[in-house]
Amino acid sequence: MVRTKLIAGNWKMNGDSRSIKQLMDGIKEQLDPAWQSEVLVCAPAVYLPLVVDFVGISGIKVGAQNLSQQAQGAFTGEISAAMLSDVGGQYVLVGHSERRSLYGENSKLVAEKFNAALTKGLIPVLCVGETLEEREAGTTMTVVKGQIDAVIEQYGIETLGQGVIAYEPVWAIGTGKTASPEQAQAVHADIRAHLAQFDAQIAHKTRILYGGSMNPTNAEQLLAQPDIDGGLIGGASLKAEQFIAICKAAG
Ligand code: 13P
């Protein structure tokens, strides 16, 4: 089985109706239907309906960047999986490092969000990754496995296998400092080997994306690695030409 590559833009808290329309126009115009990869844009929640309208029949997938672990009720300010799904969302990021570090999300909560997404038919993208200190201390895989195991321990490997994993070394996010293709491949291969200890088939079919300063210059080499199944792109996803160049590199 060949894993379909996934190129996902994470717009973070950027843009407005006007710039988003421009960006979507640019992406749609330049998207080549011959490319095999799946293309996803993760927009700020309030703009999801706008983006869903815009993608129309282009085949571009739409996702959110966060969700509540709760199904519904008195949770002021939160947005449920059902709501995201109701307005046309198909994917949702969970456990992005910015959510973990700035909003105190721990791996148990992230696992709950992962599961909540699936209950409403959204595909969760579980973001994992180590800080620079953790890498330098040689604990990269301990950290990454811990973040993944939180889902497996609470909900099982079959649940994990219904989502996507994104390896995003914290030190490479928004820094212009990318993991080398070899560094990224090594972690991706270790993640897959770890999943295989639970279920070889799930390990083989699970898509593992790389994120962290991916751009048109480094995308091709990263995406050529055997265990890198796509990208989660921040900064470069805000410019149509750059995002498209990465989609093109994925083919
Ligand atoms: P940059 O591509 O801006 O480094 O961001 C990566 C990221 O956090 C995607 O989720």
Query: Domains of the chain, with CATH numbers?
Result: 6-72+89-250 (3.20.20.70)
Of 21-25, 31-35, 76-80, 107-111, give the lowest mean pLDDT range.
31-35
Atom from ligand 1 closest to the CA of residue 233: 2
Q: How confident is the model at residue 2 (pLDDT cuts 50, 70, 90)?
A: confident
Please indicate whether residue 89, judged by its CB atom, sits closer than 6 Å to ligand 1.
no
- Residue-wise pLDDT for 153-177, tens only, equals 999 999 999 999 999 999 999 998 8
Please indicate whether residue 168, judged by its CB atom, sits closer than 6 Å to ligand 1.
yes
Please indicate whether residue 212, judged by its CB atom, sits closer than 6 Å to ligand 1.
yes
- Residue-wise pLDDT for 8-61, tens only, equals 999 999 999 999 999 999 999 999 999 999 999 999 999 999 999 999 889 999
Residues 6+ apart with CB under 8 A from 237: 8, 9, 10, 11, 41, 243, 246
Q: How many CB atoms lie within 10 A of CB 46?
A: 10
E-strand ranges in 69-185 read 91-94, 123-128, 164-167
Q: Is the pLDDT of residue 191 over 90?
A: yes
User: What is the C-alpha separation between 136 and 139, in angstroms, rounded?
Assistant: 8
> Is the whole-model pTM more than 0.85?
yes
| pLDDT reported for residue 176 | 87
| pLDDT reported for residue 173 | 95
Mean of per-residue pLDDT scores for the chain: 97
Share in percent of the chain as helix, strand, coil (round to 5): 50, 15, 40
Amino acid at 238: L
pLDDT above 70 coverage of the chain, percent: 100
| pLDDT reported for residue 115 | 98
Atom from ligand 1 closest to the CA of residue 42: 10
Q: Which of 42, 177, 214, 246 to mutate to test the pocket of ligand 1 (most atoms within 8 A of CB)?
A: 214
User: What is the C-alpha separation between 20 and 234, in angstroms, rounded?
Assistant: 14
Active site residue 194: no
Contact between 69 and 113 under an 8 Å Cβ cutoff? The reply is yes
The two beta strands, 61-64 and 6-10, are unpaired
The residue annotated as part of the active site, out of 96, 112, 130, 188, is 96
Active site residue 168: yes
Please indicate whether residue 163, judged by its CB atom, sits closer than 6 Å to ligand 1.
no
Minimal CA–CA distance to 166: which of 116, 100, 120?
Answer: 100
> Of all protein residues, whose CA lies closest to atom 2 belonging to ligand 1?
234
**What's the average model confidence in pLDDT over 195-204?**
98
Q: Is the pLDDT of residue 1 over 80?
A: no
Please indicate whether residue 234, judged by its CB atom, sits closer than 6 Å to ligand 1.
yes
The residue annotated as part of the active site, out of 98, 134, 168, 188, is 168
